Structure 1
Amino acid sequence: MEPWPALAWVLLLTTIPDLLKTAETRDFTEQDIIYLHPSTTPFPGGFKCFTCEDAPDNYECNRWAPDVYCPREARYCYTRHKMDIEGDSVSVTKRCVALEDCLSAGCTPMDYEGNKVCTTCCEGNICNLPLPWNETDAIFATTSPLSGSLRLSKSYAMTFCLLILTFFISS
């Protein structure tokens, strides 16, 4: 056998392990989002969230998230990130949620299997792009007041004060 074919076989066999290596995962970035022409919302204030259930990592979740508007009763984007003892992603869940689902934002201590879960909520169109990795990231971020009841109670208080003032003026 000539030396060149033998050398070609040696080179080919040494590159096969490199070809069989699994691809490294990468994070989903804003550059991965393709902004098309703006579409009309199904109702005023309509928005979208990345949505997935138990995806293996953030990239796979965001990459395959359906492009649909959140229902009217949902006001926030929710993210649940489960990590193993080394800090690698085990699962990612994202969806549209109501206020009640956001009140427990934060991280749990490691469980008996060595997993930690961090949850976060945000308000805004596709605001749940990143994952919460620790207590600093696992927050409930809003851009508007959490409850309309504060405004309602202020208006009731103002009405009550006007009634009392009217009563004293007419007496």
Structure 2
Amino acid sequence: MEVYLKLTGILLGTIFSDWPKTVLSRDFTLGDIVQLHPSATPHPGGFKCFICEDAEDNYSCNRWAPDQYCPKDARFCYTRHQMNAESESVSVTKRCASQEECASTGCIQDEAHMVCTSCCEGNICNLPVPWNETAAIFSTTSPLNRGIRESSEKIISLSIFIFMLNNFSYCCAHH
């Protein structure tokens, strides 16, 4: 009987010895996000990104990320994922970013590590990490030249207004 108890203890110890590693090594999913009380955005179009610095993996980063809005000058969420030669996570950094900070996305490989960088636009869009070139992209929901488009729209509106004002003036002057 005593032998069976020892054997059972050894088997249970073996089963549960890797349990913490297994639980913590899984990836973070939308199901892990706890929706807290909605809060008013600090500015129009306000959004949140996962924010962490040199976390050991994506789960650790997202799990402890602070719940805060990005500053007004940041339109995107940035993610930097460093992996070792076995493609295991070594470091994850996530933050709010400007368009300029997102200019260089993609993967860089050296002899010991691969670093993949991605940027995205939208509320907590940086949930996943880029593992390869396919995921290391700059994804947006609106044109990057939004400022140019808005200026063009203003110029067109002003041109139409001036055209209508000229026609009205011409019409009134000749009657």
Cα 1:10–1:146 change in 2 (3 A) is: same
- Cα deviation, residue 154, structure 1: 6.4
Q: Which moved more, 1:45-54 or 1:11-20?
A: 11-20
Which sections of structure 1, spanning at least 5 residues, go unmatched?
none
- Cα deviation, residue 160, structure 1: 8.0
Q: Which moved more, 1:64-73 or 1:145-154?
A: 145-154
- Cα deviation, residue 85, structure 1: 1.1
Measured on the aligned residues, the alpha-carbon RMSD in Å equals 2.2
Q: Which moved more, 1:31-40 or 1:130-139?
A: 31-40
Q: Residue by residue, what CA displacement relative to the aligned partner does 1:97-128 show, whole Å, maximum 9, x if unpaired?
A: 111110101111x2132x00100000011000
- Cα deviation, residue 5, structure 1: 2.4
Instruction: Confirm whether residue 68 of structure 1 aligns to residue 32 of structure 2.
Output: no
Matches within 5 A, 1:1-171: 4-21=1-18, 22-24=20-22, 25-108=25-108, 110-113=109-112, 115-147=113-145, 148-152=147-151, 155-156=154-155
Distance 2:125 2:104 in 1: 18
TM-score (norm. length: structure 1): 0.83
Distance 2:15 2:37 in 1: 42
Distance 1:41 1:156 in 2: 31
TM-score (norm. length: structure 2): 0.81
> In structure 1, what residue type is equivalent to 2:115?
V
SS at match of 2:15: helix
Distance 2:93 2:58 in 1: 9
Q: Residue by residue, what CA displacement relative to the aligned partner does 1:50-83 show, whole Å, maximum 9, x if unpaired?
A: 0000111100000000001111111100000001
- Cα deviation, residue 144, structure 1: 1.3
Q: Residue by residue, what CA displacement relative to the aligned partner does 1:123-150 show, whole Å, maximum 9, x if unpaired?
A: 0110000111111101101111212124
